[in-house]
Amino acid sequence: MKAASVVFKERDFYNLSRGQSLIAKTREWLDYCLVEEAEVVVFPGLVGCLYDCSARFLDDILKVSLLYKDIYICPGSYFEEQNSCKYHSSCIVKNGSIYLQQKQIYLAKWEKEQGLSRGVEVKSILVNGMKTALMVSTDLFYPQVSRQIALDDVDLVLAPAAIRGGKNVRLQLSGLWQNVQQNLFFGVESGLKGNLFNHDFYSYSAIHGPLEMTARENGLLAFERKTDKNQIITAMLDNEQRKEAVKKFNTLAQLNIDLYKDIFR
Amino acid sequence: MEMGRVIECYFNRKLNPKRIKKYLEEINPNLGYRERDQDHIVVSCVQRSIKLVGRIEEYIDLVDSFISQAAKRGSGLIVFPEYNFFDLLGILPGIRSINAYLNKKFSPAERNNSTDGSNKGNAFLQEFFFSVAKPIQNAIEIIMGGLARKYRIYVYTGSYLIREEDGLYNGGAIISPQGEILGVQKKLHLTDFEEGLGIKRGDFLNVFQLDIGKVACPICMDATYFETFKLARSLGCDLVILPIANNEEYNLFRALRGIWPRVQESYVFGLKPSLNGWLCGLHFTGKAGIFAPLEITDRKDGIISMAKKDEGDFMITGRINLKDLYRVRQNDEYYGDVNTEFEKNYFINTYKGV
């Protein structure tokens, strides 16, 4: 399966925050996905917060998805209200329908200040034969979320990211990259660059795989470069090749489960 | 008498405690200047190559050279690498010739022509290690205890094989400046190679309250699992010692799968002593280092100090400040949140099907 991650530039944020239509820009990105024959695409974290209302954002995304009916779209993340609680959430849509919705499980300090609530469960669906889960932004830094996903036999994690203070690439490395290496699923991450809620966010887009299956043994199947003019990055996710890589370094086979009983004492 | 008993008797004779103690008595330590700053602690991390020794005195000199150097730098703690006993195998007659032959056979130039699997001969190795484990453990504990007392420094011994009734473990001890063994930690997650050798894994993570902070000492592969460090934090740990001996060619990204991300997610200081070099055709590499959360390192890279090369002898020394650590735990964006509902049934929800 071919996966794409949207490369969100600082100038994209500048243009969008000064009136460019997010939906028009979304269509532009999806057109690139069509050209590249991507079957699944991830948009950046918090991109839905560029809309005033998340319900309207989702409605518009669902309408757009009808025009790209073969592509599974994770439209980035957004705030949503349910039962008078506000969550940081994301979803997977295709051809006018929502296939999966996921609330963020853990909160960053700035999210607590926003009065957000926490999700309590991780869900997954099949996307073209690959068991797929969503991991929303802050959860990238809480490895217990990744582990639960991995032990549910998930093959692919889609991660809309918005990392506060993320200009230091090492901070990003300590997020999804390392979770892929200790859990051995694929990870498609799209990062926001911009200022929202008076906070600066910066992270790169990258497609991660187990180190043993990547050409340079660096765990990266594709990644955004500063000088890159591409609007998306893509990579072929070969699940059989991933399983072969897992055989070479099967971390999950050596779990010492009895030891973990009091992990949250 | 069976071969195993013969080897054990031989090692007991060559690693005789009286002989070790006598040699230790002759060492006159230069204690150097020990920093008395309440906030900062100086710690030293050993990176060293395997050197087969013919006599126990050579091994004592080797260990002493590192401890005396650490003491001169004012360190309150020195940590040695995983499999810190390999050098002592040189005491076995003929081992140097076998070692030279195997190292040549498995060198990069020759490896492609080799048809041997690295796990061949495991039954022999298992019996051999079972035989030498006790004498080596006794010797290392006496040596490290004696030197800790002489230099008045906490010593993590590095790991060695621990023989118990039910089998062999890979573990190491933490020793007080008075020379007392404060406790032992066994490796909790094994490599395939260790499993092949019949080594067993530990089932408990200990935390040691030292006067420089709470310390845990998991070993090498244990850092591949976030659970190890999460447990250490749950037990109030501020400092994690993680000795390594990586039997593979060095690669930065492979190295990044270990202690560095664990330190970033769990907000502890991490000390990684490393063993390198060749032994019987096995090649060990790895850079020793001292790690901290990004925000409290000068270059915001999570590294306080690290060896420049992945082979050779280095002493890595750094200053750590627990108050800095407590401050970033309070302030950093992506640390410290708790989701009681998600965590309540985490164990059963996550590991039930494994």
pLDDT tens per residue, range B200-209: 999 999 999 9
Using the 8-state DSSP alphabet, how is residue B35 labeled?
P
Both structure tokens of A163: 């990392």
In chain A, residues with a C-beta closer than 8 Å to the C-beta of B254 are 211, 217
| Topology annotation, domain B2-113+122-331 | Nitrilase/N-carbamoyl-D-aminoacid amidohydrolase (3.60.110)
Task: Please state, as a whole number, how many other Cβ atoms lie within 10 Å of the Cβ of residue B200.
Answer: 17
Percent of chain A that is helix, strand, coil (3-state, to 5) = 35, 30, 35
Tens of pLDDT along B311-321? 999 999 999 99
**Single-letter code of the amino acid located at A3:** A
Which pLDDT belongs to residue A60? 96
Alpha-carbon distance of B286 to A233, in angstroms, equals: 33
Structure tokens given for B246: 């990586």
Q: Are the beta carbons of B234 and A263 separated by less than 8 Å? A: yes
pLDDT, tens digit, 9 for 90 and up, residues A155-167:
999 999 999 987 8
pLDDT at residue B111 is higher than 70? no
The two tokens of residue B337 are: 């949140």
Q: Which residues are within 8 A (CB) of B297 and not within 5 positions of it... i.e. 6 or more apart?
A: B303, B304
Which of A85, A102, A107, A109 to probe by mutation at the B interface, max B CB count within 10 Å?
A: A109
| DSSP assigned state of B248 | S
B203, B333, B343 ranked by CB distance to A165: nearest: B333
- Flag the least confident range among B115-124, B199-208, B343-352: B115-124
Question: Does the distance separating the beta carbons of A138 and B334 come in below 8 Å?
Answer: yes
Q: How far apart are CA B351 and CA A151, in angstroms?
A: 7
Q: B172 with B240: CB under 8 angstroms?
A: no
**pLDDT attached to residue B269:** 98
User: CB–CB of B234 and A251 under 8 A?
Assistant: no
- Give A74 to chain B, closest Cα distance, Å: 23
Query: A-chain residues within 8 Å CB-CB of B292?
Result: none
Q: Tens digit of pLDDT for each residue in B61-73?
A: 999 999 999 999 9
Does B210 score more than 80 pLDDT? yes
**For chain B, domain boundaries:** 2-113+122-331
- How high is the pLDDT of residue B120? 52
The C-alpha torsion from A135 through A137 and A139 to A140, rounded to 10°, is 90
A118 interaction partners in chain B (CB closer than 8 Å): 337, 339, 341-342
According to CATH, the superfamily of the domain at A2-260 is Carbon-nitrogen hydrolase (3.60.110.10)
| Pair of tokens at residue A99 | 């296939």
What tokens does B79 get?
């940590």
Instruction: Decide if A182 and B231 are in contact by the 8 Å CB cutoff.
Output: no
Q: Which two tokens stand for residue A187?
A: 């990870």
Residues in chain B: 354
Using a CB–CB cutoff of 8 Å, tell me whether B294 touches chain A.
yes
Chain B residue with Cα closest to A137: B334
Percentage with pLDDT > 90 across chain B: 80
Interchain CB distance below 8 Å, B347 and A261: yes
Lowest-confidence region among A112-116, B71-75, B120-124, B238-242: B120-124
Show residues of chain A in contact with B256, CB under 8 Å.
173, 178, 181
Q: Which of residues 189-218 of B touch A (CB under 8 A)?
A: 189-190, 201, 203-205
H helices of chain B, where?
A: 3-14, 17-25, 56-72, 95-105, 108-111, 122-151, 192-196, 226-234, 252-255, 259-266, 322-331, 340-344, 346-351
Nearest Cα of chain A lies from the Cα of B124 at a distance, in angstroms, of 24
Tell me the chain A residues in contact with residue B231 when contact means C-beta distances shorter than 8 Å: 259-260, 262-263
Indicate yes or no: CB of B253 within 8 angstroms of CB of A147: no
Check residue A210 and give its pLDDT.
Answer: 98
pLDDT of residue B97: 78
Contacts 24+ apart (CB under 8 A), A220-225: A220/A177, A221/A186, A222/A5, A224/A5, A224/A7, A224/A191
Measure CB to CB from residue B353 to each of A119, A151, A173 and give the nearest one.
A151
User: Predicted confidence band at B100 (pLDDT cuts at 50, 70, 90)?
Assistant: confident
B268 touches chain A (CB under 8 A): no
Confidence at residue A79, expressed as pLDDT on a 0 to 100 scale: 97
Residue of A nearest to B229 (CA): A263
Q: How confident is the model at residue B106 (pLDDT cuts 50, 70, 90)?
A: low
Q: How far is CA A143 from CA A118, A237, B189, B227, in A?
A: 16, 23, 18, 9
Long-range pairs of B118-123 with CB within 8 A, sequence gap ≥ 24: B118/B193, B118/B281, B118/B282, B119/B193, B119/B196, B122/B196, B122/B197, B122/B198
Distance from CA of B333 to the nearest CA of A (A): 5
Element at B162 (helix H, strand E): strand B154-164
Query: What are the φ and ψ backbone dihedral angles of B62, each rounded to 5 degrees?
Result: -60, -50
pLDDT mean over B104-111 = 64
- State percent of chain A over pLDDT 70: 100
Taking the model in full, what pTM does it have?
Answer: 0.94
Using CA coordinates, name the residue in chain B closest to A147: B350
Q: What is the mean pLDDT of each run of 10 residues along chain A (265 residues)?
A: 97 91 95 97 96 90 97 98 96 98 98 97 97 98 98 98 90 96 98 96 96 95 86 97 95 95 88
- For residue A233, give both structure tokens: 């990055």
What value does the mean pLDDT of chain B take? 92
Distance CA A88, CA A185 (A): 23
Binary contact (B354, A142; C-beta < 8 A): no
CB B189 to CB A254 under 8 A?
A: yes
**Comparison of pLDDT for B124 and A64, the residue scoring more:** A64
HSE-up of B146 (CA within 13 Å, CB side)? 22
* Euclidean distance between CA atoms A249 and B224, whole angstroms: 11
Which of A259, A261, A265 would best serve as a mutation to test chain B binding (most B beta carbons within 10 A)? A259
pLDDT reported for residue B280: 86
Query: Is A168–B257 a contact, with Cβ atoms under 8 angstroms apart?
Result: no
pLDDT band at B226 (very low <50, low <70, confident <90, very high): very high
* Mean pLDDT of all residues in B154-160: 98
